[in-house]
Amino acid sequence: MARKTANDDPLASVTLAVGQEDLLLDRAVQEVVAAARAADADTDVRDLTPDQLQPGTLAELTSPSLFAERKVVVVRNAQDLSADTVKDVKAYLSAPAEEITLVLLHAGGVKGKGLLDAARKAGAREVACPKMTKPADRLAFVRGEFRAAGRSATPEACQSLVDAIGSDLRELASAVSQLVADVEGTIDETVVGRYYTGRAEASSFEVADRAVEGRAAEALEALRWALSTGVAPVLITSALAQGVRAIGKLSSARGGRPADLARELGMPPWKIDRVRQQMRGWTPDGVSVALRAVAEADAGVKGGGDDPDYALEKAIVTIARAARSRGR
């Protein structure tokens, strides 16, 4: 969740929201606007992009009003403001107007650092909105969402939700809201599985298994879920390659017990049994066609094509057809 400085008054003269996590940036704005409208229902909110905040615009927006109305001025992507506009903002920071709250959304980093430093020096209330790239951060976010809703969720449920939804914080927040609204009592792993089992099971190997079994529609559905939960396209092409190669190896191997074949082919015994079931319908020509399709998809997702998703879809359809090549 967003981290705040010691000055935690949303009605502070200046709030500085720093980071690149859109959901947290939007929430920082919403918190200020809600506090302002709680103090004055007629609060005027102006939400501006850098191109809308020209030199002189801030002075106009913050000039004393005859009716002394409360106002919130939101400036998005403050790091992209022009040099002249930055001068205006810095001048305002030194003498902010009463009944006006300025909210600066800044990506952080080097660009526009002068404005960032000036706002901090002026004592702005700061809300950190960092991009959550680590699974542990997203897990903490989900736990915080349940706590904020006043609900209890088991650690396993929180982890299952992160595994199922992926890296999109908006989707994670939406999923928590849905579970809180629909489910009474403690939310556990079983509940999460009931709501999101299709997503939780989606993985690169799920895609590959359905494709080599000739189940194109199911493989494409699993692909969409996998991509939406953050599975890298290169992992999917790798799984497809492993699946097709396993069928090629087993189809050319001499018969024998799973344990013997496992040692010969370098596979675990349980996989021998699975591949035996998957290889029905395959022919040597089908394996060759499928391997070429995987190679083309691999090149496509590594920069050789314009649309990695399409490259994967095309490969899956080709592999599924190859899986049904025997007898045609």
Confidence at residue 240, expressed as pLDDT on a 0 to 100 scale: 93
| pLDDT higher than 70, residue 6 | no
Share of the chain above pLDDT 90, in %: 56
Return the sign of the alpha-carbon dihedral for residues 259, 264, 269, 274.
Answer: negative
Sorting pLDDT into bands at 50, 70 and 90, what band is 1?
Answer: very low
Chain-wide mean pLDDT for the chain?
Answer: 87
pLDDT tens digit string along 218-251?
A: 999 889 888 877 778 888 998 899 899 988 888 8
Confidence at residue 188, expressed as pLDDT on a 0 to 100 scale: 93
| pLDDT higher than 60, residue 155 | yes
Q: 28-44: string of b/e by CB count within 10 Å (b at 16+)?
A: bbebbbebbeeeeeebe
- Give the full edge-to-edge strand order of the sheet including 125-129: 3-4, 125-129, 14-19, 100-106, 71-75, 44-48
Confidence at residue 23, expressed as pLDDT on a 0 to 100 scale: 92
Confidence at residue 202, expressed as pLDDT on a 0 to 100 scale: 60
Confidence at residue 255, expressed as pLDDT on a 0 to 100 scale: 62
